[in-house]
Amino acid sequence: MPHASPFDWSASPVAQQIAHLRDLSPEAFREAIAGYDWALDPEPVLGWAMAQRGIDLCTALAVFFNGDPGRFNYMPKAHVPAQYRGVARVLDNICLRVNSGFYLIYPGETPRHQARLSTWLGYQQADRAEGRRGRWMLDERILAPMLQDDLRLPREMAPAGKPRPSLWRDLLSPIIGLGVDRDILKYKDPL
């Protein structure tokens, strides 16, 4: 059985990179975008990838911090060099999606860049105290359940299996996918 050679991102055009991502399993897809080299073509490739359903918040934050947002955070949009405007737009979109709750939290997952996230949030708090604001403000209310690990369930309490297929579930899936599954919430301790 021949061993498949790893995908060469740097030698592949954008359309081929996106086609490769489409062919990956969900887990491999998340790993690929979390490790994507921002020096390549982040705007078309990551712009498309980060708009896909199924990206979790931890992966989104990994992609965000891999884009090195600190270098442009206090720079006015008009002052971002032309060659980096696509990078800044991807970072803008990721931040907007994080803050809108587009990326859901998978119970029990912790951010890959926990230290960078903590530092970032610390700078945000210091900025607020000084009356200053960076370009990308991550909403702590959205991040809180992940940071406090409020959604972790003991393995024996986790819901088993996938829901049965139904026409109603298919029709309502875009709306259902916006929140946390009720089966998970019923195990959360009341306040």
Which residue in the block uniquely carries the two structure tokens 């998978």?
106
Query: How distant, in Å, are the alpha carbons of 25, 85, 144, 177 from that of 101?
Result: 23, 24, 12, 11
Looking at residue 153, its pLDDT comes to 46
Looking at residue 155, its pLDDT comes to 47
Measuring CA to CA, which residue among 26, 45, 29 is closest to residue 93? 45
DSSP H or E segment with residue 30 = helix 26-34
Looking at residue 146, its pLDDT comes to 76
Q: Specify the 3-state DSSP secondary structure of 56.
A: strand
- CA angle 184-60-96, nearest 5°? 95
pLDDT in tens, the chain (191 residues): 455 568 888 888 999 999 999 999 999 999 999 999 999 988 999 999 999 988 999 999 999 999 999 999 999 999 999 999 999 999 999 999 999 999 988 776 777 788 899 899 999 999 999 999 999 999 998 888 777 754 444 445 444 555 555 556 556 655 655 555 555 555 555 55
Predicted TM-score (pTM) of this structure: 0.74
Looking at residue 81, its pLDDT comes to 94
Q: Is the dihedral of CA 140, 141, 142, 144 positive or negative?
A: positive
Cβ-contact 61, 113 below 8 angstroms: yes
